[in-house]
Every structure is written in C-alpha cells, then in structure tokens.
DNA sequence: CGTTGTGTTGACAAGAGTCAATGGCAGTGG
DNA sequence: CCACTGCCATTGACTCTTGTCAACACAACG
C-alpha cells in the first residue's frame, strides 16, 4: 500500500503543491486492494460508482463502445492515476473502466474521500485540478483524432505515455512498459488494427520509436515529438519538463 | 444581467440541485459584461486566465490549432454555459475561447468565484460537476471522432445541440439558431469543409435535418438520433429527458 | 456594384477500412 | 516433450471514405 500511495503522492505533487499535512491526511484514507486480470471491468457504463480507483500496478483504460461494436479508448492510466475521480460528482458511469493489462488497484469509498475533501479546500482544489487535467488531455487527444493522420497520432500517443510514465518514475533508459495489444493501440488511435500495424511499421522503419512485446522504446525523442506535434503543456505539470 | 443569471440558473438546476440559498449567493457575484464580435478571442492559448466567462447571448467555442494550421473545435457553448470554468484551477489556458457568432458574455473574476465556493461546498460540488460534464461531453465526442463516419458525427452533433438548446429554452418548435459557417461545422466534425458540405446535403436529402442560414431544423428526431447513435445520458441531465 | 466570405460542384488523389490468409508465439493438456 | 489451441501480428488485394484542388455561384455588405 505504501507503493500505491507513493505513486499517488508523486503524481499529485507533479500537478500541484502537496503539503506534508495533505500527505498525512491522504494516508489516513482507508482502501481496499483489488487484483484485476487483463480485460476485467472495474466499472461498467451505466453503473453507479461508489468508490474511486487508484492504479497501483499495471494499466487501466477508459473506453466506450458504439452500437456498431466499435470501441474508442479515451485514456490509458498508469500507477498513481485515479482514472475515475469524476465519479465523485458524476456517480453514473458514462463509460467503462477496464484493466488493459493485469493490474492492481486500490479502491477508496467516495464517502471517505468526500469527508477528507470537506476538511481541506487545498485537497479539494488539487483533486478538482486532477480531473481538469484529465479533461485537458481529452482536448489534446480530440485535436489529434480530428485533425491529424495516423502516424502523427501514434507519435503523439507514444510521446504522452513516455512523459507521463517518466513522471512517476516508470521509465527505464529510453523505454517504458506498455503491455497492450495492437488492437488496443488501434482503438486508442481510432484506426483499424491493420492500419495501426502498418503505421507502427512506418515509425519503426523511420527509426523513431519501436513497440514490441509490451515495451515502447523511444529511439529519437526529438523527431518523434516533432512528428507527433507534441507539446506537453496540456499535461499541466508544474515540475521541470522532462527531456532526453 | 437577469437574463444572464436566468440562463445560468436554468442550466445549473438542470445538472444538479440548486437551493434558493445558492441562487441568492450566485446573484451576489459581481461581473463585467462584454460584447464580442464574431471570431473575436475571449482567451487565447497560453494566456493566464483570471476570470471565467458566462455566455449570455450568442455562441462561443473552444478550439485548438495544429502546427499545420488545422483547427479542431472541441465544444460549442450557448447561453448559460461557463465554458472556461476549468480556468479556476487550470489558469494557464491550453486552448482558445472564441466567439463563434456575435456574443455577449459576463466575466466573473476567479477570486470572487473562489470566495463564493469556499463558503459553500454545495456550490463547489455543483461547479465541479459542471466541469466534469464538460469532460463527459468530450468523451462522447471522442467516440464519434474516432469511431464514426461523417454523417453519424453530424447527426450526433445536431442532436446534442438540439437537446442542450432545448434545455435552456432556446428552441423554437423543432428548430434552433446555429449561427455558424460550414467551415466551423467542418472543424467540429473533423472533416474538410467540402466533405462537411456533402454530408450535410446527404442528411438534407434523407429529410432528417436541415441547416440553412444559421438555423438547424430537425425534421425527424427519431431517425436523426438513431443515425447519430445519440444517447443523451453523457449530458448528465437530472430533469426529464427531452423528447419530441 | 465590386469585394469578400461562404456554399456548392466536379475530378482526382490519398488515407484508411475490410477481407482473407498466413505466420508466430505462448499456454494448455496429454 | 510435443501436438493443439487461441490470440495476436503481419501481409496483400481491393474498396470506400475522405481530402485536395479548382472553379463557380451566391449573398451580404460597404
């Protein structure tokens, strides 16, 4: 559980000021641990959420499925993220929360969180801010979905994940774990799997980045970021910007 | 100013409980009125926002422009909306806020709003909820951008605007004002203007909806909603669902 | 009454989806 | 240890949606 809280603290202090007092209050929050297998749904569209979920290990994503069966993945969440914090004030889930890879999560009851926030307007502001950054990432991604072609979108996605993963200290050298299938990748990019595969090969061929056996290796950060038109400011990180 | 507040109250009570006390507190908020001409920027990407903006009349949108010059419009805002409430905890703007059509807005200083919210956890929750619904609309739209073809997206967009416009009482019969160009429309849909034009003609030909001279007329709601795979639940409206 | 932005059209090119087949790899069970 | 199974990655061929370019029509406006 210390690991869980460690990631959370790291993320929260990356996006705002976190006092020692705040840390202490957060540590008093009771939670339940839960282990998820790949593809397992944490919350489903239409559910009434009563707890929110902190990712401890693994990956979790949010998605929605169209009547045609087509699925869009909105966001991918890594340790330290609370992907469904919005459930606090939007208890009826309008999308699914799914374990993309085997994952471990901590569940905090809304009641307990709300009690904590009621006592600290600082923490309220910080948590609110977290949900706002979430929305900012959506905007950045909408821009990509609407206006950029597949290779640009893929480059942008890898850049974002690289930066966020580095933020919580999960990068190794110039690579990070991304234990997802190309099918998942395609559903993030909004392309068919075939096209995602070809786009990936294209990026490989250009020597910008590779993605194999659940690991992304960034070979040329600068060019990748340029191709992906990546500007990390939408992540609203307060710390020094990560570089390579 | 009563008109401004009237729209705001109507919207807030549509998405949550608004007590008489809350209404009274909101009415104490000081604000500045500002008249915007079409295309005028209220806030620009990179700006430090110190006030938030309530739409009184007209239309306002949020957008971001890619290095290639391509623009994506994320959302369109009508009277009663506060499109940049997120600025309260995310003061560095990561996108533009622009008057789509001649508009009148009320500007509330963040300081005053924050002071009000500090005194009422009810209002804090409601405003937070408002920003969360904003994000929910982004998700719904990402699903469209990523997974649906142009006619579906267009139908969906018209459905959303119809419902929201009805919510604040701006509909006339089966139509509502949408004083925007097909260029703007295309930039919302993430298509070229040419394609948007053809898609529109397609919907016209099918007799589902028309959009001419700044006005959308819904001819067959049921079929339009079906084509657009529209399900209003992402708007998180508490009132009875609008129908036709 | 021309200027300007917008809507509309046709012809063509390019990006992306679909279908179908193949190959690889890991896990399972005999 | 090996066949079997199932999921995933990869490829080719083909179709379809969408973008681009360019021209023209139209309406609002000074």
From the list A136, A146, A190, the residue facing B90 with the nearest CB is: A136
Alpha-helical (H) ranges within A69-213 are 110-119, 121-147, 150-167, 182-189, 193-205
Task: Tell which B residues from 194 to 223 touch A, by Cβ distance under 8 Å.
Answer: none
pLDDT in tens, B44-59: 999 999 999 999 999 9
Q: What is the pTM of this model?
A: 0.95
Residue A242 banded pLDDT, cuts 50, 70, 90 = very low
User: Using a CB-CB distance cutoff of 8 angstroms, which residues of chain A are in contact with residue B124?
Assistant: 124
Q: Which residues of chain A have a CB within 8 Å of the CB of B86?
A: 132, 135-136
H helices of B20-120, where?
20-28, 110-119
pLDDT at B4: 78
Domain with CATH 1.10.10.10 in chain B: 148-235
**Helices within chain B (DSSP H only):** 2-15, 20-28, 110-119, 121-147, 150-167, 182-189, 193-205, 221-227
**Pick from B45, B145, B98, B189: nearest CA to A234:** B45
What are B208-227's pLDDT values in tens digits? 999 999 999 999 999 999 99
* CA–CA distance, B85 with B51 (Å, rounded to integer): 9
Which residue in A139, A89, A234 sits closest to B127, CA to CA? A89
Distance B194 CA to D22 C1' (A): 12
- C-beta of residue B201 within 8 angstroms of C-beta of residue B244: no
C-beta atoms of B128 and A131 within 8 A:
yes
Mean of pLDDT over chain B:
94
> Looking at CA atoms only, how far is residue B70 from chain A in angstroms?
6
Rounded Cα gap, residues B85 and A208, in angstroms = 38
**pLDDT the model gives residue B192:** 97
pLDDT of residue A239: 67
pLDDT in tens, A55-72: 999 999 999 999 999 999
Residue A141 neighbours by CB under 8 Å, 6+ apart: A74, A75, B142
List pLDDT tens digits, range B187-206.
Answer: 999 999 999 999 999 999 99
Extract the tokens encoding B109.
């200083």
Which H helix or E strand runs over A24? helix A20-28
B87 touches A166 (CB < 8 A): no
Two tokens, residue B222? 């049921």
Percent of chain A whose pLDDT exceeds 90? 91
Give the chain A residue nearest B87 (alpha carbons).
A132
Other beta carbons within 10 Å of A210: 16
Q: Residues 11 to 40 of B: which have CB under 8 A from any A CB?
A: none
What is the average pLDDT value for chain A, to the nearest integer? Answer: 94
What homologous superfamily is domain B2-138 in, according to CATH?
Jelly Rolls (2.60.120.10)
Query: What would the two tokens of residue B2 be?
Result: 């009563």
Higher pLDDT among residues A238 and A135, named by residue: A135
The partner residue sitting opposite B66, judged by closest CB among A71, A134, A148, is: A148
CB-nearest partner of A190 from B89, B118, B146: B146
- Mean pLDDT computed over A156-181: 95
Sequence-separated (6 or more) residues with CB below 8 Å from residue A173: none
H or E element that contains A209:
strand A209-212
Indicate if the alpha-carbon torsion angle B189, B184, A234, B121 is positive or negative.
negative
Q: How does pLDDT run across B79-103, given as a tens digit for each residue?
A: 999 999 999 999 999 999 999 999 9
- CB neighbourhood size of B57 (10 A): 17
Q: What pLDDT score was predicted for residue A241?
A: 43
pLDDT band at B238 (very low <50, low <70, confident <90, very high): confident
CA gap B88, A135 in Å, rounded: 14
Averaged pLDDT, A213-225 = 96
Residue A232, burial from CB neighbour count under 10 angstroms (0-12, 13-18, 19+): middle
- Its sign, for the CA torsion B136, B137, B140, B146, is negative
pLDDT tens track for A134-153: 999 999 999 999 999 999 99
Minimum mean pLDDT range among A15-24, A136-145, B141-150: A15-24
Residue B102 in tokens: 């001649």
Whether the predicted pLDDT of B140 surpasses 80: yes
Say which residue, A244 or A212, is predicted with more confidence. A212
What top-level class would CATH report for the domain A148-235?
mainly alpha
Which regions of chain B carry the CATH code 2.60.120.10?
Answer: 2-138
CB B107: neighbour CB atoms within 10 A? 15
Q: What is the DSSP letter of A240?
A: P
Give span(s): CATH 2.60.120.10, chain A. Answer: 2-121
Pinpoint the alpha helices (H) of B76-149: 110-119, 121-147
CB of B147 within 8 Å of any CB in chain A?
yes
State whether the beta carbon of B179 lies below 7 angstroms from any atom of strand D. Answer: no
What is the reported pLDDT for B241?
A: 43
A195 is near strand C: CB distance < 7 Å: yes
- B168-189 pLDDT, tens digit each: 899 999 999 999 999 999 999 9
Q: Classify domain A2-121 at the CATH superfamily level.
A: Jelly Rolls (2.60.120.10)
Record: contact A135-B134, CB cut-off 8 A: yes
B89, closest residue in chain A (CA to CA): A129
A179 CA to D1 C1', in Å?
Answer: 30
Burial class of residue B32, CB neighbours in 10 A (0-12, 13-18, 19+) = exposed
Contact (CB<8Å) B86/A147: no
Q: For residue B53, what are the CA distances in angstroms to B4, B119, B179, B221?
A: 11, 21, 20, 32
């Amino acid at each position: 559980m210390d690991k869980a809280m460690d990631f959370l603290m790291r993320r929260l202090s990356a996006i705002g000021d976190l006092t020692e007092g705040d840390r202490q209050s957060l540590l008093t929050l009771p939670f339940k641990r839960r282990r998820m297998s790949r593809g397992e749904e944490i919350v489903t569209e239409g559910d009434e959420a009563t707890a929110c979920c902190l990712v401890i290990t693994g990956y979790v994503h949010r998605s929605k499925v169209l009547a045609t069966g087509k699925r869009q993945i909105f966001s991918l969440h890594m340790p330290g993220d609370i992907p469904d914090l919005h459930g606090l004030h939007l208890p009826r889930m309008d999308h699914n929360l799914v374990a993309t890879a085997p994952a471990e999560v901590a569940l905090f009851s809304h009641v307990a969180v709300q009690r904590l926030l009621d006592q600290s307007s600082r923490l309220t502001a910080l948590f609110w801010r977290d949900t706002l950054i979430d929305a900012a990432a959506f905007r950045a991604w909408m821009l990509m979905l609407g206006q950029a072609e597949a290779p640009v979108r893929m480059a942008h996605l890898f850049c974002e994940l690289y930066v966020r993963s580095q933020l919580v200290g999960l990068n190794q050298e110039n690579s990070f774990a991304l234990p997802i299938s190309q099918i998942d990748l395609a559903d993030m990019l909004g392309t068919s799997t075939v096209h995602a595969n070809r786009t990936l090969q294209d990026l490989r061929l250009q020597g910008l980045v590779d993605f194999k056996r659940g690991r992304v290796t960034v070979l040329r950060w600068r060019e990748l970021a340029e191709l992906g038109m990546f500007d990390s400011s939408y992540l609203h990180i307060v710390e020094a910007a990560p570089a390579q």
